[in-house]
Amino acid sequence: MKNKTNPLWGGRFKQKSSELLKKINNSISFDYKLASQDLRVSKAYCKALCKSKIISKKEETLIVDCLKTIENDILEKKLKLNEDFEDIHMNIEMELKKRIGTTAGKLHTGRSRNDQVATDLKLWIKEKTLFILNLLENLQKVLVKKSEENIFTIMPGFTHLQNAQPISLAHYFMAFFEMFERDKGRFFDMINRLDECPLGSGALAGTNFSKIDRKYLAKSLGFRKPTENSLDSVSDRDYAIEFLSNLSILAVHFSRIAEDFIIWCSNEFSFIKFSDLHCTGSSIMPQKKNPDAVELVRSKASRVFGNLLSLLTTLKGLPMTYSKDLQEDKEPVFDSFDTMEIVIIIMTELLKELVINKAKMLKSSNNGYSTATDIADWLVQNTELTFRDAHHKTGKIVLLAEQKGCNLDELDITDFKKIEPQINNQIFGYIGIKNSVKNKSSYGGTGFKKIKEAIQRAKKKIKK
Ligand code: ARG
């Protein structure tokens, strides 16, 4: 009888669990990823138990030393995790019992898997977030480098995917620098909110062991402070939702840069080429070189959004406090992290290797009457016309160029004068592509000088 029931909670059970229950209930196949956090939490908890004299120094040493050997064996893949013991917490406790006997049974005094798992997951998210922040900073460095190399690379800037105004390619890259900077900010904010330790909250109500020093526990695990409310501690997963939400916003940014690159590498655009490292061929069309890497970066966003929605839905309407539904928090979190880790790394590599067709970009930036706004602005700055009137007259100039089948800078001065007699030869200095970019000298604009300044500011941000 004794062997049949669960060794951790089998006291009130007469029968052992069904195989089906094991299948739906077991989480060890994925929560093994929390092993190192769980061991860290247990070591800290054991020390707190000793500090409050619930266990002796000798017992503390026995348990902590054994946890270290377990850690080592897990690292060296010597420890086989057992499907019979539900999750990582039970696996580790059972292994401890196997190695040191009954003293192992003291470790869970005043502790529940509910406060334990919340602490483990917070530690895991914190650690992985620091890793992501590092990856993002590397990517930002590449963006800055690429920007420095391309201050004078002129490309069409688009709105509605229609040629709008010429811009510097550096300005484009720096736009993503800013987005990733805000992404980093969101992760920092998340860490700040998450940084409270749930351990010592027990199953839900707090514990009878008031001597267990929760401030000490929090500090020894690197948290700013203990959580304030035990019910909140074991029931909420807002930090995991925030993590998934931040990863989703990050994924949006990557999907946009990916989409641009997919368009830019098409034959029709030919703005960029990817190195062979990041392309695949076709099984039938020998000429093909497909941008699979960026296409996947574009679509990975959808699964990351899915994970966010999955966890939001798990939490929605869940009665307080802990329910087993919360075990479903882990896979979305692990999957989104794994997904975005590779996305950041591959995009960093891809950017480094990117081949830029500067001539094609420059040529295209002159299409679509992209300096028409510069004509309107010239009229405002050099005549009494209001912007609305200047806009209207410039519209007529564009129409004329369209009828003549030429670009704006190919029009004759007499063409301009027909529409607005006040226009003089100065206009040609204004509507050239390079000058158009140069003149965007507002703060944050694409003007060459402004980009150089933006790059300097960016460098300071990533130096820290
Ligand atoms: N594996 C469980 C989880 O991830 C641990 C907590 C179990 N708690 C419980 N009351 N059954 O949520």
Instruction: Determine what percent of the chain is predicted with pLDDT higher than 70.
Output: 99
Q: How far is the CA of 90 from the centre of ligand 1 (A)?
A: 10
Question: 114 in ligand 1 pocket by Cβ < 6 Å?
Answer: yes
Between 238-264 and 292-315, two packed helices, what is the crossing angle to 10 degrees?
A: 160
Q: What is the pLDDT of residue 464?
A: 61
Using 50, 70 and 90 to split pLDDT, how confident is the model at 284? confident
Closest-CA residue to 303 (of 256, 242, 251): 251
Question: 38 in ligand 1 pocket by Cβ < 6 Å?
Answer: no
Q: How far is the CA of 26 from the centre of ligand 1 (A)?
A: 10
Average pLDDT in the 107-127 region?
98
Question: 147 in ligand 1 pocket by Cβ < 6 Å?
Answer: no
Residue type, 428: F
The pLDDT mean for the chain works out to 95
Give the residue whose CA is nearest to atom 5 of ligand 1.
113
Q: What is the pLDDT of residue 2?
A: 47
Q: How far is the CA of 236 from the centre of ligand 1 (A)?
A: 13
Convert the pLDDT of each residue in 351-362 to its tens digit. Answer: 999 999 999 999
Q: What is the pLDDT of residue 70?
A: 98
User: Is pLDDT at 90 greater than 80 in this prediction?
Assistant: yes
Give the residue whose CA is nearest to atom 2 of ligand 1.
327
Average pLDDT in the 334-355 region?
97
Convert the pLDDT of each residue in 243-271 to its tens digit. Answer: 999 999 999 999 999 999 999 999 999 99
Mutation choice for ligand 1 from 31, 199, 231, 327, CB with most ligand atoms inside 8 A: 327
Q: What is the pLDDT of residue 3?
A: 53
Q: State whether the Cα torsion 243-245-248-253 is positive or negative.
A: negative
Q: What is the pLDDT of residue 28?
A: 96
Convert the pLDDT of each residue in 184-193 to its tens digit. Answer: 999 999 999 9
User: Is pLDDT at 1 greater than 60 in this prediction?
Assistant: no
Whether the bond into 321 is cis, omega within 30 of 0? yes
Give the residue whose CA is nearest to atom 11 of ligand 1.
324
Using 50, 70 and 90 to split pLDDT, how confident is the model at 68? very high
Q: Each residue of 370-394: b (16+ CB within 10 Å) or e?
A: bbbbbbbbbbbeeeebeeeebbebb
User: Is pLDDT at 87 greater than 50 in this prediction?
Assistant: yes
Give the residue whose CA is nearest to atom 4 of ligand 1.
327
What domains, with CATH codes, occur in the chain? 18-109 (1.10.275.10), 114-148+168-363 (1.20.200.10), 368-461 (1.10.40.30)
Average pLDDT in the 410-418 region?
94
Q: State whether the Cα torsion 363-364-369-372 is positive or negative.
A: negative
d(CA 12, CA 5): 9
Question: 27 in ligand 1 pocket by Cβ < 6 Å?
Answer: yes
User: Annotated active-site positions, please?
Assistant: 160, 282
Between 113-149 and 35-51, two packed helices, what is the crossing angle to 10 degrees?
A: 130
Give the residue whose CA is nearest to atom 10 of ligand 1.
114
Q: How far is the CA of 32 from the centre of ligand 1 (A)?
A: 13
Average pLDDT in the 197-212 region?
97
